[in-house]
């Protein structure tokens, strides 16, 4: 019997479009001789619906979201769970949901209650890695180096914004970055070189979240590592994007056709091993399982600083995460998906040994 593979994509998130691009690539790469695929689209409004079987031929983002293709566009989450995801036989879920309402532990919690295996990180690690403020507190406790930062809530800013500004300028300084605490793909992030820009950046960040992080800029390079696995994770060779942007924002990441990957990154063998070990250490400190991309700054002083951990990194076949694995050990895109499914099933089976009665 084929394993039923439920692919969740879209979502009530500003990273909706990123999820759609990921879903197209994943759906085109799944081995249909082994898996029976059920695409499930979550609209921007949070409505769950399914287009049924989708042929790989000519598959596009437009077809994934075309309401006319849905068997019943009025379906709810309850109808999907009871009518589609409750079908008998072995099953696993691929939650390809970037950002809020998908990468933050919410969907993972639902799947835990349903007792269905799913790829990627669990509830706690998903929540921790998406919340930059909590991740930075944990990174400090773990003794992993990172740049100086400050956390500010919307309430703190409204109550005494002058004090927040004074502390920031006294301890962080300029240039600095203002980031919504729980968002990815560089959305809502501003690079600020003076107080005027900082005030604009704070307003922008608070339009996406009720908590933000302000960080000191690190002069140097951004180095990325792909980590894969559960209890004994593996780290890829490090990579980096070659570009001339002062700030690597959303448009730079997704629309600049001049971007070039350097994999492995041009660093010494000794530093390569140090980066890979520190990536695994950060991954385990956050309780990650399945996959994550760990991003560092390599300062001009030669020091490494953890930037962030992305629990569901960009996952098209041209994204850094899968390409790093292909250039590390030859793992193809479709093989990588099957490894993630295997890790999901292994984690789920391991959890079934836990006792819930005395």
Six token digits for residue 224: 């990325």
- In this prediction, residue 257 carries a pLDDT of 67
Measure Cα distances from 334 to 39, 213, 268, 302, 321 in Å.
Answer: 17, 36, 31, 36, 13
Q: Which residues pair with 212 in a beta bridge?
A: 152, 180
Query: How confident is the model over 202-250, as pLDDT tens digits?
Result: 999 999 999 999 999 999 999 999 999 999 999 999 999 886 655 555 5
Mean pLDDT, residues 252-268: 77
- Domain 148-216, CATH among 3.40.50.10860, 3.30.1490.20, 3.20.20.140, 3.40.50.720: 3.30.1490.20
Query: Of the candidates 177, 188, 255, which has an alpha carbon nearest to the alpha carbon of residue 222?
Result: 177
Domain 220-350: CATH class, spelled out: alpha beta
CA–CA separation, 342 and 346 (whole Å): 6
Q: What is the pLDDT of residue 214?
A: 96
Question: Which two structure tokens, joined as six digits, stand for 178?
Answer: 């203002």
Residues near 88 by beta carbon (within 8 Å), at least 6 away in sequence: none
Given phi > 0 = left and psi -120 to 50 = alpha, else beta, which region is 86? Answer: alpha
The tokens for 69 are 């293709």
CA 122 centroid distance within chain = 12
Asked if residues 183 and 100 have their Cβ atoms less than 8 Å apart, the reply is: yes
**Residue 266 buriedness (CB in 10 A; 0-12 / 13-18 / 19+):** exposed
**Sign of the CA dihedral with 200 first, then 296, 24, and 51 last:** negative
pLDDT range class, residue 299, cuts 50, 70, 90: very high
Average pLDDT over residues 56-63: 87
- Domain layout of the chain by residue ranges: 3-118, 148-216, 220-350
Q: Among 63-67, 161-165, 242-246, 311-315, whose mean pLDDT is lowest?
A: 242-246
Same fold, 3-118 and 148-216: no
Nearest to 274 by CA among 297, 294, 304: 304
- The answer to whether 14 touches 187, Cβ cutoff 8 Å, is yes
Average pLDDT, integer, range 184-209: 90
Q: Could you say which of 3.90.1150.10, 3.40.50.720, 3.90.1420.10, 3.40.50.20 is the CATH number of the domain covering 3-118? A: 3.40.50.20
Residue 251 reports pLDDT greater than 80: no
Q: How confident is the model at residue 315 (pLDDT cuts 50, 70, 90)?
A: very high
Query: What's residue 241's pLDDT?
Result: 87
Of the pLDDT bands very low, low, confident and very high (cuts 50, 70, 90), residue 195 is: very high
Tell me what pLDDT residue 67 has.
63
**Which tokens belong to 33?**
């001789």
Separation between Cα atoms, residue 218 and residue 301, nearest integer Å: 10
Instruction: Write the CA distances from 152 to 6, 14, 206, 212, integer angstroms.
Output: 38, 22, 10, 5
C-alpha–C-alpha distance, residues 228 and 248, integer Å: 25
pLDDT tens-digit profile of 46-55? 889 888 778 8
Give the Cα separation of 38 and 50 in Å (integer).
Answer: 8
Does an H or E element contain 241, and which? Answer: strand 240-242
Q: How far apart are CA 73 and CA 77, in angstroms?
A: 12
What is the structure's pLDDT at 310?
95
Q: Terminal CA-to-CA distance of the chain, rounded, Å? A: 36
Residue 106: both structure tokens together: 């919410």
Q: How many residues comprise the chain?
A: 358
């Amino acid at each position: 019997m084929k394993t039923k593979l439920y692919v969740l994509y879209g979502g009530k998130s500003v990273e909706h479009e990123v999820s759609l691009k990921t879903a197209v690539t994943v759906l085109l790469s799944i081995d249909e001789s082994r898996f029976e695929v059920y695409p499930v689209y979550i609209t921007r409004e949070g409505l769950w619906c399914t287009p049924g079987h989708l042929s790989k031929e000519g598959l596009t983002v437009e077809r994934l979201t075309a309401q006319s293709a849905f068997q019943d566009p009025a379906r709810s989450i309850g109808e999907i769970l009871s009518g589609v995801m409750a079908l008998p036989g072995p099953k696993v879920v691929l939650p390809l949901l970037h950002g809020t309402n998908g990468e933050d532990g919410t969907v993972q919690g639902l799947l835990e209650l349903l007792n269905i295996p799913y790829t990627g990180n669990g509830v706690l690690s998903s929540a921790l890695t998406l919340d930059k403020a909590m991740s930075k507190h944990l990174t400090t406790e773990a003794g992993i180096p990172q740049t100086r930062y400050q956390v500010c809530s919307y309430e703190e800013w409204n109550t005494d914004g002058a004090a927040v500004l004074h502390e920031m300028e006294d301890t962080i300084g300029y240039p600095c970055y203002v980031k919504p605490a729980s968002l990815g793909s560089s959305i809502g992030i501003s690079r600020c070189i003076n107080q005027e820009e900082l005030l604009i950046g704070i307003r922008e960040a608070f339009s996406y979240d009720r908590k933000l992080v302000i960080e000191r800029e690190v002069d140097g390079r951004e180095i990325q590592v792909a980590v894969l696995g559960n209890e004994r994770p593996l780290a890829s060779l490090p990579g980096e994007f070659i570009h001339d942007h002062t700030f690597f924002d959303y448009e730079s990441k997704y629309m600049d056709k001049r971007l070039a990957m350097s994999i492995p990154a041009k660093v010494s063998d000794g530093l390569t091993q140090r980066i890979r070990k520190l990536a695994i250490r950060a991954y385990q400190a956050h309780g990650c399982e399945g996959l994550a991309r760990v991003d560092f700054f390599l300062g001009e002083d030669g020091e490494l600083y953890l930037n962030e951990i992305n629990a569901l990194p960009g996952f098209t076949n041209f994204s850094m995460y899968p390409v790093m694995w292909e250039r590390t050990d030859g793992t193809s895109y479709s093989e990588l998906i099957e490894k993630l499914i295997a890790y999901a099933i292994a984690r789920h089976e391991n959890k079934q040994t836990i006792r819930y009665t005395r």
